[in-house]
Amino acid sequence: MPIARSLTIARVFLRYRLNELVPADHQPLWLRTLWAPAKLLPAGAVKDMGRGERLRRALEDLGPIFVKFGQLLSTRPDLMPPDIVQELNQLQDNVPPYPADQCIARIEASLGAPVEDLFAEFEREPLASASVAQVHGARLKGESGEPGAAVVVKVLRPGIDKIIQQDLELLGVIARWIQRYLPDGRRMRPVEVVEDYRHTIEGELDLVREASNGSELKRNFANSPLLYVPEVYWDYTRENVLVLERINGIPVTDLRQLRAQNTDMALLAERGVEIFFKQVFEHNFFHADMHPGNIFVSREHPERPKYIAIDTAIVGSLTREDQYYLARNLLAMFRRDYRMVAELHVQSGWVRKDTPINAFESSIRAVCEPIFEKPLGEISFARVLISLFQTARRFDMEVQPQLVLLQKTLLNIEGLGRQLYPQLDLWKTAHPFLEGWMRERVHPKTIVGEIRRYGPEWLEKFPQFPQMAFAALEQGQELGPRLQQLSEQLAGSRQRGRTRYARMIVGGLLALGAALVASPGLLAQIPAVSWVMGAAALALLLWP
């Protein structure tokens, strides 16, 4: 463990009195001793801060990797208290850029040529700078030496992989402390959250993976009026360098510009919802990092607004079973069929098979009924889903990573949609889509498509089917005698065990009798008849 970095973290924790987040009676002696110096330091403004603000400021002081981790925690309201989530939502990943010369050196080392030979133009001043990478504008070389397409060049920060590994190691230590000493530590599952973060951040360190995700997303929305994804220039893309088409859109949070070009805000909000459900249910491949910084709106056709998505490092997908059960859960929930919701959770394996359905149904009803007393336009679809997962967690539900990504994405989409058009009724868009998807799933055309897709594989395995059937029958015939033999062996073992146990008891009684005979004074205190009868009764009860 890096000692200097550990001391820095300890100093920041002391400054913001983060030790007070753990009740004193849950702190071991060594931890109370370690935190003791904090009491001698002047509290200053910290004493007036809530726990969420203290945590946010500590993460900001610790640097970009911890800031990014705090952003991840802000997307887990199923695990974190609301006051902490609200503060962590304010974290901004604004990082000073590193020198352009270092950036250019990385590009040249990765692509094997001077920047002047690779690009007709290259902007030394970065367009954006974040914790993992920074982005520069450039222009490719066209034919006959003319400037070509405008692009952006994304370059990983030098040495960022080593910094991330060190901070991940320290985060793991902190997570284990929280899980062990915080009263709610086990429920918060901090070790699992850190592992989730590890998976996320390591995915962002491979720009080829991000490029391939972008290509898949672009293919899924080819010729679509809903979403545009920038083109990847593969000849200029490596693990630590990514070159993409440069887009000229309006940031989705710039409401002034959007209104100035007369954008249809209601349609824009509804299309955001439609994009989400298409990705999850039709394509089964969704952009899982759709925060406002990664979303733009095309300047063309404001009456039919089109989204532009960037930064595809984090994507998610569901199994076919999860897709089906999630759709049915949502439909049943909005029909207030809580019995069906409970049964679907058991059928899908999201909760244990022995979960008491009546108790589970009652808990779901208690969570959902107050929500559904409101008009549908005022209901937060994402919050309903979170409440459902929180309720299921009390019944030992293990939330899978893909469902967490889905929940996070839905929170981003719904929050964005309501910011664009506060009257957004997400269910008005979602309900017909889910109904249509469920009908399409069992449509003969879909079934024929499945047969076409998997038919060659079935045909290839079909000649082996008779042999597999005969082998299964032979195993079944052999299994009967084996089970009978095993049953007889178990019965014999139980019989022998009981016999040995009875002999042991009788032997013990005989030994006790011998001892009593050897001690006449003791023997005189016990009626001989009752002693003999008791011994005989025990022997009869235990003898086979």
Contact 430, 381 (CB under 8 A): yes
Strand ranges for 13-114 from DSSP E: none
311 Cβ contact partners less than 8 Å away, ≥ 6 residues apart: 210, 289, 293, 294
Q: What is the CA radius of gyration of the chain?
A: 33
Which is nearest to 103 in space by CA: 79, 91, 119?
A: 119
Residues 6+ apart with CB under 8 A from 228: 221, 247, 298, 306, 307, 308, 309
CB 68 within 8 A of CB 201: yes
Has 322 been annotated as catalytic? no
The pairs formed by 452-457 with CB atoms below 8 angstroms and a separation of 24 or more are none
Q: Give, in order, the Cα–Cα distances in Å from 217 to each of 17, 221, 307, 405.
A: 45, 6, 13, 17
Contact predicate 332/342, CB 8 Å? no
Cα distance between residue 270 and residue 159, in whole Å? 42
Catalytic residue among 167, 289, 311, 425: 289
- Please state, in angstroms and as integers, the Cα–Cα distance from residue 195 to each residue in 132, 136, 263, 410, 473, following that order: 18, 31, 41, 22, 46
Which run of H or of E encompasses 346? Answer: helix 338-348
3-state DSSP assignment of residue 102: helix
Residue among 434, 439, 440 nearest 273 (CA): 434
Q: Would strands 128-129 and 119-122 be described as parallel, antiparallel, or unpaired?
A: unpaired
**Strand bridging mode 315-316 / 307-309:** unpaired
Measured in degrees and rounded to the nearest 5, phi and psi for residue 251 equal: -55, 135
Alpha carbon dihedral 220, 450, 410, 310, in 10-degree steps, equals -20
Chain centroid to Cα 210, Å, comes to 19
Instruction: Determine the angle formed by the axes of helices 3-15 and 29-40, rounding to 10 degrees.
Output: 60
Pick the closest to residue 406 from 297, 298, 329 (CA basis): 329
Residues designated as active site = 289
